[in-house]
Each structure stands twice: as structure tokens, then as C-alpha cells.
Amino acid sequence: MSRPRAALAGSVIASGIGLISLLAACRASAPGSPTDPAVGRPAPTPVPPAPSISAASPPSLATEAERTGFRRTGRYAEVERLCPAFEQAYPGRARCFRFGTTPEGRPMLAIAASADGALDPAAARAKRRPVILFQGGIHAGELDGKDGGFLALRELLDGAMAPGALAAVTAVFVPVFNVDGHERFGPNQRPNQRGPEETGFRTTAQNLNLNRDYMKAEAPEMRAMLALLDAWDPVVLVDLHTTDGAKFQHDIAVLVEPSAPHPGGLDAAARDLSEALQARLSALGHLPLPFYPSFRTEDDPSSGIDADPAPPRFSQSYSAARNRVGVLVETHSWATHPRRVRAVRDLLAALFERAASGAGALRAAADRADAAAARLAGAPFVLSHRAGPVPRVFPFRGFAYERRASEISGALWTRYDESRPEIWRVPLFDRIEPDLTVTAPAAGYVVPAAHAAWVADKLRLHGVRFEPLPKARPGFAVEAFRADAVAFQPSFEGRTPVKLQGTFRPERLDLPRGSLFVPIAQPRAPLVLHLLEPLAPDSLVAWGFFNAAFERKEYMEPYVAEEEARRMLAADPALRAEFEARLRDPAFAGDPAARLDFFYRRHPSWDERVNLVPVYRVAVSPLP
């Protein structure tokens, strides 16, 4: 459908003004200028300006960032204005829609874009149309993704960026994920970031970090996002951030997951995409990195960098656990805001250029991963990785610095001289190796009926298939995990995480009616393993959802234990021998509570459910 001439003119003007203002702002902060002391950084390759069109019609799609030379960024009211304005300016090719509501009552908005009207999940599925979803403002002090995303979306729809891409994929843009945090607006929110003048805040109104919430899914905003992902099923999820950290010349880091071996070879597709993005960004004049530039020892560049994959609480690894490609974009906070916006715009250009010709390959890679994941039963699966002990030397573009004793902190602190660019020879630990490997159960997992309701809610959010048991299964053969050691961790993201030691062992347990059977034979099997394996770093167990299972609720008073211990010793010579052997341990012998507990744990009154994780593996389906 052709667009009205006035709308066309207005949008193209906006695109032209956006590019021109961005280029002007970048030139104002060019190497050696007062606004960006990163001397020696290559200037980005200019993008040809949009055609000159009479400015009689106002650029209604222009952002506050563009109007102010990228000194400021707009409030959320701008998103509420621009979202329907895109739909009006591009009829039949853009759709504004609401996918959630924040705790403070604000709308969560997204824009879908397609060349031929594939603007809802059903239409995209009907056409086998791959979807690319890119989101800004998950941390609302980091708003390059919002400003750069609006600019890129306009260019995509005008055909100025990646011609043909929107005929090959449907784009879904979430300008601001953390909406309430965005409206906690003010200066000085990010003292380690150059511009804009005011931003939102990192966390939500409930003080939750959304980029730690993908697995536990507690924030209302995350629940809305997971529903959005489940509906659209994007083959690529792009999460747009601004990084923290040292001062250096690299202006953007792009991490593509899965980077470790993944069912169906999805990691190969991710590597191909990563290499293409790195090459294109370099050609556009950027200094990209394929890893997150965080030092092993904070504030010490000489300590090196670990490049192991993050756990699935983070967006890019969560996407990989869903058998989809995840892309984490981190523009560098010490580059100026216009440079960072330009880096976002160019990253999205590189991605959609690739998609214009390679979208079918991405869809096929996701399908292969789904098919392979559904066959994981009985196979080993790596739940976490670590960086290997042997690094390689990476030529990292930094600045001269010195480490000196501080009279303020009493520790060493790092001072950077941005007028003196230099190459650091940084140890890069990017040879990853398995850290935690499990064997997938032959049939799946069972969650007892007592926990079925809330676990079912979590599984639905993640798109995991399950089925309640229609009748009880007494004495069913399972593998049960009884923790040998339990260590509660400091409060984190409003929860009390726990670390366990132990293993699964064969038992026969009663499975009540209404217990959940979660089959391993499904495309989301990697996500099932991450959620339900007790030792997985982001499992429901690890996040503390089952902590009551590790608490004693019944007791034996010491005077009763003394009496019962004597009866038990008199009746059981083997127990007496075991007790006497334990007394040879000085720590045990000197601990009265441990000595009494030795008997309580062997007494018939002991609660056999203490430390029993209410998630069982099964080799055979318990369904009739």
C-alpha cells in the first residue's frame, strides 16, 4: 500500500534531519574535539544524507535527541507520541501496539514493521516470516538504543537502510523496556557516562534489574516481555545497552549467543552473524569488540578479560536457551551520546543488511535447534561454562594509564589519559570449557502437586510444555535430589539464592494427583534443564523458590535426644560403632549439637523431606 505524499515527505524529512543532525553531532565530538577526548579514534564512515526535501511539513517523527543535537533524550511521552505516529506515517507497514502495563500503570509499547503487512504474530507465522526484535532501555539510564532504534526504524521503513530487509523479516522495536525506571528521570544518574543531560534509572519502580530477571520472571514488565517473545518468537533478540567500565577507544561491543556448542549447531549460525557484524561495523569506522570489556580485577586492565558465556538470567543467553540467537549490544559509556547513537544505528543497519539476504538461514538454524533440542533425552548438556586457564594476547585499544595509591580509598586507583591512545596487550581468556554438565532425563521431570500451581505459571511464561497427572502414582520410580549441603547466599534481586551440594539418586516416591510432568522431548528442552536442574545457576532452586524445602520444621529437644540416643545405642551395635568412629573427628566430638543431631537424623521421627528438592527426574512418563 502506498503512503500519502504528506506522510511520506514528513517521514523522509525526519530521516534526513535525523542523519544530518547525527552526523553533525558526531563531527562536533570528532577526535580531538573538546566533547570527545578520544584522540586517535577513526571517524565513522559518513552515511550519505537523505534527499533534500522542502521542510514545509514538520518532521513529526523526529526525536528530542535529534532536535537538540543529541544533548537530550525524550521522556516516555515521546514514545507514546511516536508509536502511533509511525503507524500513521507508514500505513500497512507499521503497527503500534501495547504489550503490557507497568506497576505504575504506564503502557509498554512496541512497533512492528513489515514491507507487506506481516504486522502481527499470526501474519508472520502464516508467511514463515522470521522476526527480529530489538529493545532499548532495559536499563533506563542507557538510552542509546531508544534514540538509535527510532532513527534506524525510520530508515528501514523509508528504504534508506538495508533495502529489502522488511520484505524478508518483520522488525519489532521496543523503544523502552523499563518504562517506570525511564520516568525516574534526572541528571547525574550515570556519572560514568557522557550524555545525554538527563536519563532514567537502571532498575524498575520495584527496584528490580530486568536484565537479571529473564529466568525467575518476577517483574510484571518481564512477564509482559516473555509473553511478547512467546507470541512473536523472534529468531534474533537484540538487547541495546550502554556499558560501564574503563576508559578505552572501542566504541561498541557486540556479543552473539550461543557462543558454545548448542543443539542443532545454532552456535555456528551465531558465529557467522557475529563475524559479519564485526566486519561491517569495522567497515563503517567503528572499533567493535566481540566480547564484554570487563576486567577480571575491577579497574585493572592488566588483569585481563574473561569471555565466557553469561547465564540465562541475561537476555542474550536466555534467547540462546530458547534456541534463538541473542545479541547483546554495549555502546561504550565514555563515547559521547551522538557517537553511541550512531553505533546503535550502524549495528542495526549491519544486522538488517545481513537479514535481507540471510533471514531464511536464521529461520532454518532455529528450526534445526528446535528439532535437535527435542531429542536431548539421555544426552549430556552443558548448563554453564567457564573461561579456560590459558589466555591469548588481545591488542586492546586503550589509553595511557597509571595505577597509584589513593589517599581517599587507601587502595590503588586507575587514572586514564585520553589524550594518549595506546594499544594494551590484554590477556583474553576466551577459550571456554564446560563448568557444569548434566545428563538430560530419559523422560522428563515431575514437580509434586504442592508446587504445581506456581511452577506451572513459570513454565507457561517460558513457553514450556507440561501436563498435570490425572491420577496419583504411588511408589513411582524417580531420581530424587537430596542436598548434602545447603548454603544460603546474600539477598540478590529481592530473593535469597541458594547453592547446593548433592546429586540425584534412585528412589520410589508417591506422586500425587495434579503433579506436573514436564517432558524433555520438546523444543524448549534446554530451557527446561536450566529451570529445573537444581545445580543450574539460574534454576528455580538456585533462585530460592524452593528454600522452604531446606528448613527444619520439627525438632527434638536436647533432653529428649539424650534419652533417645541411649535407647538407639543399646538396640543397635552397628550404630554404636558408627558413632564411636565419628568421635575420632575432633570437630564432631567438640560439637554437642552435631552429636545429638547424629541421632536425630537416624531417628524414626526425622522428617525425610528435609533437603529433598521437590523436582524429580523420571525415566518413564508417569502419565497413563
| Angle, vertex CA 326, rays to CA 461 and CA 70, nearest 5 | 105
CB 62 within 8 A of CB 151: no
Other Cβ atoms closer than 10 A to 256: 27
Cell 561491543, located at residue:
253
Classify residue 33 by burial, with Cβ atoms within 10 Å: 0-12, 13-18, 19+. middle
The answer to whether the predicted template modeling score (pTM) of the entire model surpasses 0.85 is yes
CB 314 within 8 A of CB 294: no
Grid coordinates of 106? 504506564
Residue 430, φ and ψ in degrees, nearest 5: -115, 10
Of 393, 397, 394, 387, the C-alpha closest to 430 is 387
What per-residue confidence (pLDDT) applies to 188?
A: 87
Residue 574, φ and ψ in degrees, nearest 5: -65, -40
The tens digit of pLDDT for each residue in 50-89 reads 333 233 344 489 999 999 999 999 999 999 999 999 999 9
CB 516 within 8 A of CB 455: yes
What per-residue confidence (pLDDT) applies to 16?
A: 56
Residue 297, φ and ψ in degrees, nearest 5: -110, 120
What per-residue confidence (pLDDT) applies to 512?
A: 98
Between the alpha carbon of residue 487 and those of residues 12, 499, 501, 529, the distances in Å are 59, 5, 9, 22
What per-residue confidence (pLDDT) applies to 219?
A: 98
* Cα gap 608→598, rounded to integer Å: 14
Below-50 pLDDT ranges, the chain? 1-10, 12-13, 31-59
Residue 95 identity: R
Classify residue 225 by burial, with Cβ atoms within 10 Å: 0-12, 13-18, 19+. buried
What per-residue confidence (pLDDT) applies to 23?
A: 65
What per-residue confidence (pLDDT) applies to 26?
A: 67
